[in-house]
Chain A
């Protein structure tokens, strides 16, 4: 009799290649140290969630992955973050951002048509013909589960879409440059439950061939979506591991307390 164990909802991370490698990483905003000696491997083509209370450094680390910290004048870093074997701080930041897409907390379509939103990134890289533009639009909007809803309105403003649709448009826009990594900073915190479910479903599907890193305050969302979870507190990485292990059997008392809502 075939009695193989059921597949876990979360895919294994053991044996997965590393997409991003963080080594002894420290970051200061002026005198304030926001990240302290972080060591972390982000598995390739998996979803990784960063959780922790506000101010713990999770968004700071996420934004560092595509060098958004460069825009903050007082920032100083130590340690390395490697992507594809290269230190990201030695790479051209615009080149890096082609490979690392970003989706923010609040949907932020550009004040232009749906089509122009999608083609904005590719056009900064090269000339795009009409037929190629059509192909990119359909592919990215389909991947973001938005094509059927907007295919007849591609020339209408992206700002006319609902909040959930706008966020999926932003995901489609991020996919248009064909990134390897998709960073998502609380991507559903401004959405209703149905739109949240849709975006979560997208995260899971995208993580089959993209590396997805998501910051979330919703621990149940991390459990539902992420293959790996990392818990941060006061700038330190307290614990990280496969989501099932972190939620089922946290090693650290602080993780147990935070996940069970008994954090003081």
Chain B
């Protein structure tokens, strides 16, 4: 018989993964629902807006478990350390995405359905892309799958292109002068939210790489870009 040791520690690591997957499911569902809500689905909008408490509870549960592990389960080294520290950081990105779904829905509430329909196809595609990226990025983190994480990072280009297309379409609408320009800036902002969700999914994918290699490419790139500006 092999004696299992540090079973409390192992249970807590498993608990963090279960909670992260639960948070991911909620966030992915909210991103998809936001895609529907911004084009006039009231039920989807209500669902997204009611998700705040669940987000807070999940985030707090993950952070508290990570803190407990760091405080009480030493030695915490190597892959385990990167899993716990990565989870602690990554949960902020997930939370940020979930919060953006509410911001997008809140903004879209004042946009008449007729105006929103102008970008319906773009919103549907953008939200589907962003949701898939989040789903895949978290899965890559939980399964330590670097290849899958890299696929997510590459997919961000497609989301950026979709946003650029939406922007171009809106600029065209303004130039035409046929439709009222009153709500067009809001529509562009909603599209921007989805594009930002893609960026954050890319950051989560980078945490998956960090879990395996110890390097967070997105964060390091950002700090390198920031450094000359600070000097």
What is the interface of chain A, defined by CB distance below 8 A to chain B? 1-10, 145, 148, 194, 197-198, 200-201, 204, 220, 223-224, 243-244, 247-248
Indicate which residue in A1, A194, A204, A223 contacts B26 across the interface (CB closer than 8 Å): A1
Q: Tell me if B54 is interfacial: C-beta within 8 Å of chain A.
A: yes
User: 1/0 per residue B109-132: CB within 8 Å of A?
Assistant: 000000000000000000000000
A3-B57, A9-B73, A220-B74 known; A201 and B1 CB under 8 Å? no
User: In the complex the two chains form, is A223's CB within 8 Å of B74's CB?
Assistant: yes
What are 11 contact pairs spanning A and B, CB under 8 A?
A3-B22, A6-B61, A7-B15, A8-B68, A194-B5, A201-B3, A220-B74, A223-B72, A223-B73, A224-B74, A244-B72
Q: Tell me if B226 is interfacial: C-beta within 8 Å of chain A.
A: no
Interface-side segment among B6-14, B149-157, B178-186, B189-197: B6-14
Closest-by-CB residue of B relative to A147 is B1
Q: How many A-B residue pairs have CB under 8 A?
A: 70
User: In the complex the two chains form, is A244's CB within 8 Å of B68's CB?
Assistant: yes
A1-B26, A220-B75 known; A9 and B61 CB under 8 Å? no
Q: Tell me if B143 is interfacial: C-beta within 8 Å of chain A.
A: no
A220-B75, A223-B72 known; A201 and B54 CB under 8 Å? no
Indicate which residue in A1, A6, A201, A244 contacts B6 across the interface (CB closer than 8 Å): A201
**Interface residues of chain A: helix, strand, loop or mixed (majority):** helix
A234 to chain B, nearest CB (A): 27
Q: How far is the CA of A5 from the CA of B67 in the complex (A)?
A: 13
Closest-by-CB residue of A relative to B55 is A3
Q: How far is the CA of A6 from the CA of B12 in the complex (A)?
A: 8
User: In the complex the two chains form, is B71's CB within 8 Å of A224's CB?
Assistant: no
Q: How far is the CA of A165 from the CA of B172 in the complex (A)?
A: 79
Q: How far is the CA of A10 from the CA of B16 in the complex (A)?
A: 16
Indicate which residue in A3, A4, A204 contacts B8 across the interface (CB closer than 8 Å): A204
Contacts A3-B57, A5-B60, A9-B11 aside, 10 further interface pairs with beta carbons under 8 A come to A6-B61, A7-B11, A9-B8, A197-B6, A201-B4, A204-B7, A204-B8, A224-B6, A244-B72, A247-B71
A148 to chain B, nearest CB (A): 4
Q: How far is the CA of A121 from the CA of B6 in the complex (A)?
A: 30
Count class of interface residues, chain B: 20 to 34
- Residues of chain B within 8 A (CB-CB) of A7 are 11, 15
User: In the complex the two chains form, is B72's CB within 8 Å of A6's CB?
Assistant: no
A197-B5, A200-B5, A224-B6 known; A244 and B26 CB under 8 Å? no
User: In the complex the two chains form, is A224's CB within 8 Å of B15's CB?
Assistant: no
User: In the complex the two chains form, is A248's CB within 8 Å of B22's CB?
Assistant: no
Closest-by-CB residue of B relative to A226 is B72
User: In the complex the two chains form, is B64's CB within 8 Å of A5's CB?
Assistant: yes
User: In the complex the two chains form, is B61's CB within 8 Å of A145's CB?
Assistant: no
A2 to chain B, nearest CB (A): 8
Closest-by-CB residue of A relative to B58 is A3
- Residues of chain A within 8 A (CB-CB) of B26 are 1
B58 to chain A, nearest CB (A): 5
Q: Tell me if B99 is interfacial: C-beta within 8 Å of chain A.
A: no
B77 to chain A, nearest CB (A): 12
Q: Tell me if B170 is interfacial: C-beta within 8 Å of chain A.
A: no
Q: Which of A6, A145, A204 has the most CB of B within 10 A?
A: A6
User: 1/0 per residue B9-53: CB within 8 Å of A?
Assistant: 101100110010010001000000000000000000000000000
- Residues of chain A within 8 A (CB-CB) of B64 are 5-6
A3-B22, A6-B19, A9-B9 known; A243 and B3 CB under 8 Å? no
User: In the complex the two chains form, is B22's CB within 8 Å of A1's CB?
Assistant: yes
Q: Which residues of B, 62-113, contact A by the 8 Å Cβ criterion?
A: 64-65, 67-69, 71-75
Indicate which residue in A4, A197, A223 contacts B71 across the interface (CB closer than 8 Å): A223
- Residues of chain B within 8 A (CB-CB) of A244 are 68, 71-72
- Residues of chain B within 8 A (CB-CB) of A194 are 5
Q: How far is the CA of A7 from the CA of B19 in the complex (A)?
A: 12
